[in-house]
Amino acid sequence: MTSNHTRNPGTPLDLDWVMGAHINKSAVERRTATLTGRRTVKKDWQAAWLLRAITNIDLTTLAGDDTPGRVHRLCAKAKQPLRPDMLEKLGLNGERITVGAVCVYPNRVADAVHALQGSNIPVASVATGFPAGQTPLPQRIQEIEQAVEAGAKEIDVVIARNYVLTGDWQAMYDELQQFRKACGDAHMKTILATGELGSLKQVYQASLVSMMAGSDFIKTSTGKEPTNATLEVSLVMIRALRDYLDRFGYKVGFKPAGGISSAKQAMAWQSLMKEELGDEWLKNDLFRIGASSLLTDIERQLYHYITGHYAAKHRGGGERKKDGVLDTPPKAFGATHHQDGIKVRDVYS
């Protein structure tokens, strides 16, 4: 994970700040309703936003039947998420576009590292008793060490939700500090499992404690909870990121995960990041989307953008229609077009 900002080293636990947190739920709901109630990105600019979204994806497989072959196929897609002819039609002939990372279980890290050799795509590994975080602490730390030794550059750790539900912030902080130490140079993405935390206030508090303990990213969900990433929870976490930056000067990344499977959803989260934190948080050193099927829909929408219709079903689309996110083809799509501040040729920079 290359970055132009200083890595968050963590700070002493500020319990006064954590305990004094207050969240206005009605205000959160009103704010996020503005994203779903309007077109978040101008139609002419959507293709570049979706190209950017590809670079934000942590392409993920976390299934009980994962095999080396499945991981290798996923990595091949990660290295070439769009066909060369599509890139050429989008004015990006010769450009290299890849996803942000490939995320797997610790036992599959070596497979992914081997498949991604020479690509500069980092391997991320879940750890610490994913998804429940209920295994003994030494075992959770050992999982981190195993994944790092196998070549993982990013570790997605899960918090013990009981600490949040009982308000034992010191225990949560101490445990995450141990996780961060075990990660070493690998970046730590801390999964809050927000669907199991009880309230938006607790989401905000857990976000603060995670950052104080040295998290490089905070992440909404494991993808295994009944309720995964929502815009309301994301807004609360993003406000925590902003508050932490204002107080300590360290930028921490954000990763929504679980249930984000459409291009329209991806652009809603991109818009939230841009409006709340600015363009810098659209780049993949500060913003990732955990997803397994999102890339398929983005490819489908970009095909429609290029051709004006959807590909045949076996190629990821359907008949000629106007029900997609990108519901008109471009009049012209050149290298100098700006996409709400993003140049097409600069979407990967």
Is 233 a residue whose pLDDT tops 90? yes
Q: Which of 58, 156, 216, 285 is catalytic?
A: 156
Euclidean distance between CA atoms 53 and 8, whole angstroms: 24
pLDDT category of residue 334 using cuts at 50, 70 and 90: very low
Specify whether the CB–CB gap between 324 and 310 falls below 8 A: yes
Q: Which of 255, 274, 283, 297 is catalytic?
A: 255
Euclidean distance between CA atoms 238 and 244, whole angstroms: 10
Reported as a single tens digit per residue, the pLDDT across 186-197 is 999 999 999 999
Is 315 a residue whose pLDDT tops 90? no
Mean pLDDT of all residues in 94-101: 93
Specify whether the CB–CB gap between 243 and 213 falls below 8 A: no
Is 97 a residue whose pLDDT tops 70? yes
Is 323 a residue whose pLDDT tops 60? no
Q: Extract the tokens encoding 25.
A: 């739920």
Specify whether the CB–CB gap between 206 and 192 falls below 8 A: yes
Q: Extract the tokens encoding 88.
A: 């050429």
Helix, strand, or coil (residue 255): strand
Is 342 a residue whose pLDDT tops 70? no
pLDDT value for 34: 85
Is 219 known to be catalytic?
A: yes
Q: Which of 219, 251, 274, 283 is catalytic?
A: 219
Give backbone dihedrals phi and psi of 217, rounded to 5 degrees, phi first.
Answer: -140, 155
In the block, tokens 């994944």 appear at: 147
Q: Give me the helices (H) in 41-168, please.
A: 46-56, 68-79, 84-89, 109-115, 137-150, 161-166
Is 156 known to be catalytic?
A: yes
Q: Identify the residue with better confidence: 37 or 281.
A: 281
Helix, strand, or coil (residue 80): coil
Specify whether the CB–CB gap between 56 and 295 falls below 8 A: no
Q: In the CATH scheme, what is the code of domain 15-346?
A: 3.20.20.70
Q: Identify the residue with better confidence: 329 or 163.
A: 163
- Short-list 36, 35, 81, 76, CA closest to 56: 81
pLDDT value for 280: 96
Pairing of strands 57-60, 101-104: parallel
pLDDT value for 275: 94
Reported as a single tens digit per residue, the pLDDT across 125-145 is 999 999 999 999 999 999 999
